[in-house]
Amino acid sequence: MNYPNGQRKPLTIKPKQTSFSRRGMTLEEEINETTDFYRIQGQAVIHKKPTPVQIVNVHYPRRSAAVITEAYFKQASTTDYNGIYKGKYIDFEAKETKNKTSFPLANIHEHQVHHMQQVIKHGGISFIILRFRAYEETYLFDAKDLFVCWEEQFDGGKKSISYNHVKQLGHPVPFHYQKKVDFLSVVDKLYL
């Protein structure tokens, strides 16, 4: 390629990237679409829980626009999603990581683990949906397996769950056009 000043610039061709199928979508966006589909089809009623926030200060730059300038979390939220499926209460957390080798347990909070323990104690179904973005792989990881990993970190164990451990104990969640994170197909096999 020639520039106006007479210099030559070599044309570089970038290698083709592998997959753009879900670029830009987050795990939560895909789960939201999936739960909407489940609800419309009459399969389940599962919703994302709102984060409890207390708005303290609002700035009005124009009459038609409001900007929240100060807000605080009212309380620690529990898990991301809850609902009912085939007469069973379902409660789960959704997490994704760019890490290729493990999922850091620091991404889960102690109050969330306690909440999941209470759900199971009362006969509900609880799990975590983990996505490894580097591989575009999504797994349903049972809460009971999470509890073991959680407790081991306090007894000198790892502070993360290895990718291989998730592959071994977790259950792959299939991707479909309308059910991008079809976790209910896995719930059927594991719990019902």
- The region, left, alpha or beta by phi > 0 then psi within -120 to 50, assigned to residue 121 is alpha
Q: Which two tokens stand for residue 96?
A: 């994704």
The reply to whether 110 sits in an annotated binding site is no
Pairing assessment for the beta strands 125-132 and 88-97 based on DSSP bridges = parallel
User: Read out DSSP for 23-91?
Assistant: TT--HHHHHHHHHHHHHHTTS-EEEEPPP-EEEEEEEEEETTEEEEEEEEESS----SEEEEETTEEEE
The reply to whether 80 sits in an annotated binding site is yes
* CA dist list (Å): 174 to 7, 17, 65, 103: 52, 22, 41, 20
Q: What are phi and psi of 67, to 5 degrees?
A: -125, 120
Q: Which residues have a Cβ under 8 Å from the Cβ of 176 and sit 6 or more positions away?
A: 182
The reply to whether 112 sits in an annotated binding site is yes
The reply to whether 41 sits in an annotated binding site is no
Per the annotation, binding residues for Mg(2+) are 78, 80, 93, 112
Which residue ranges are tagged as binding site?
78, 80, 93, 112
